[in-house]
Amino acid sequence: MTPTPTATLVARDWAEIQERMLVPLYEAVYDRLEVGPGDRLLGLDCGAGLPLLLAAGRGAVATGVEADPARRALARERLLEVLAAPPEPPAPPRPYDALLAFSPAPAALAAALPAVRRGGAVALAGWGPAERCTVPSVLGGGPAPQDLDALVERAGLRPDGSGRVFCPFGYADVDSAVRGLLSTGLYASTADSVLAEKELAEALHPFERSDGAVWLPNIFRYVIARVD
């Protein structure tokens, strides 16, 4: 499937503006897992591939899964291996050591687990407490925090720790903030793109600093589990 011009522009806004906002989360999880040379990682919803690049910088071999064709195309431009869907059973010749799902969908998680070795790590992450996150309020009430512990239980995984990470979303100006936040796909106020941009810009004004920059503090939570 060839991405539409609009989809390509949105994907580039994600790659150029938004995805770096989650670097503290990626790095905290990689530190917790002690990701290093020789590790094989599978990253769900990898976007344009930044989490894969960070893992590769630590010496790991990282493969991504990204359903959106425009984001997948950008990741492949970075010479990354990115699949359209989780690998189907049987597992690859050498199973993955870790599965990374920073915005996990239960169905995608279940489809990917057979590719992870026994004892391998599964890292899930999502929004922290609502009172510690400004972005959901700017986006009109969503997304709600996901119950990661319940997801671990339903998937039949063994809990192995958790943590919280400060991930502020900082932008040079309101225009960059609007483009970045719209690229997440989480703002669903209206199908009219012009009206959506206007509504979002108005919602951002309370977070605009004197120099025009926009600062949105957030806490993300991650959970580590193991495949038995």
219-226 and 158-166 strand pairing = antiparallel
* pLDDT average, residue stretch 20-34: 97
What does the pLDDT read at residue 194?
A: 85
pLDDT mean over 64-89: 92
Rg, Å, the chain Cα set: 18
164-175, pLDDT tens digit by residue?
999 999 999 999
User: Which one has a higher pLDDT value, 107 or 226?
Assistant: 226
- Judge if pTM exceeds 0.85: yes
pLDDT tens per residue, range 39-62: 999 999 999 999 999 999 999 999
pLDDT tens profile 78-105: 999 999 998 876 656 789 999 999 878 8
Report whether pLDDT(106) > 70: yes
Do 144 and 126 form a contact (C-beta atoms < 8 A)? no
